[in-house]
């Protein structure tokens, strides 16, 4: 069942990826290529997995697979290197159908892009992030926070000098170090030491200025 759900969520992304790759041998005129420097904005629709080891006999647990969106703001310093600030949010069901969990992250990445002179441009990236995982029911809220590192790869296909469509795969290794319980206006914080992870597969839309 889990495998089927994952395939169902990721099939549209994989189909679009194959369509773009099939067009990868085409060339664009010089005047339609992206400028060497400048700002770009991005939007990703992502499928997300938390990689938690949930047992079906647990009284309450967060389900691994979820979905969400990511917003990107980047700057190209040259045709191959750019820095990007990303804000991601994803929602995840739990073992209680009345309770949902939310994952949020703020990340900064360095990108290295290959073949900047071609429409199809693969890339690798690495960076740091801050993360928050929250479960809320009524006036009760439990949240854990921490930092981590992120690595990823993908490609963008430029249809014009401004617009690109692509696929992105990112893995985040997280160390949660703070927990917070809020109930009826009362808040309690404590230090924790828990490992976590988040993997996202996304369909990306980018606009370069």
pLDDT at 24: 47
Consecutive 10-residue averages of pLDDT for the chain (209 residues): 44 52 47 77 96 70 92 96 97 88 96 92 97 90 95 95 95 96 88 94 95
CA distance 11 to 92: 19
**Tokens standing for 128?**
């740091």
- CA–CA separation, 84 and 147 (whole Å): 17
pLDDT of residue 60: 84
Distances (CA, A) of 17 to 11, 30, 139, 206: 10, 24, 43, 15
Query: What fold does the segment set 2-208 form as a domain?
Result: Porin (2.40.160)
pLDDT value for 5: 45
Q: Residue ranges per domain, the chain?
A: 2-208
Contacts of 207 (CB under 8 A, 6+ apart): 40, 41, 42, 162, 163, 164
Stated pTM of the model: 0.80
């Amino acid at each position: 069942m889990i495998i089927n759900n994952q395939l169902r969520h990721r099939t549209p992304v994989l189909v679009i990826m194959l369509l773009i790759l099939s067009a990868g041998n085409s060339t664009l005129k010089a005047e339609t290529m992206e400028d060497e420097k400048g700002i770009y904005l991005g939007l990703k629709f992502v499928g997300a997995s938390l990689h938690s080891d949930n047992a079906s006999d647990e009284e309450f647990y967060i389900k691994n697979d979820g979905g969400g969106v990511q917003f990107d703001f980047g700057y190209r310093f040259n045709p191959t290197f750019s820095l990007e600030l990303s804000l991601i949010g994803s929602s995840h069901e739990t073992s209680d159908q009345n309770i949902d969990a939310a994952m949020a992250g703020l990340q900064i990445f360095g990108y290295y892009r290959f073949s900047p002179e071609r429409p199809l441009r693969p890339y690798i990236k690495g960076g740091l992030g801050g993360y928050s995982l929250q479960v809320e029911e009524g006036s009760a809220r439990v949240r854990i926070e921490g930092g981590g590192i992120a690595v990823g790869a993908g490609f963008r296909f430029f249809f014009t000098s401004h617009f690109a469509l692509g696929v992105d795969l990112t893995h985040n290794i997280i160390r949660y170090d703070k927990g917070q319980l809020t109930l009826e206006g009362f808040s309690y914080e404590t230090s924790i030491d828990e490992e976590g992870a988040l993997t996202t597969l996304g369909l990306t839309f980018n606009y370069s200025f």
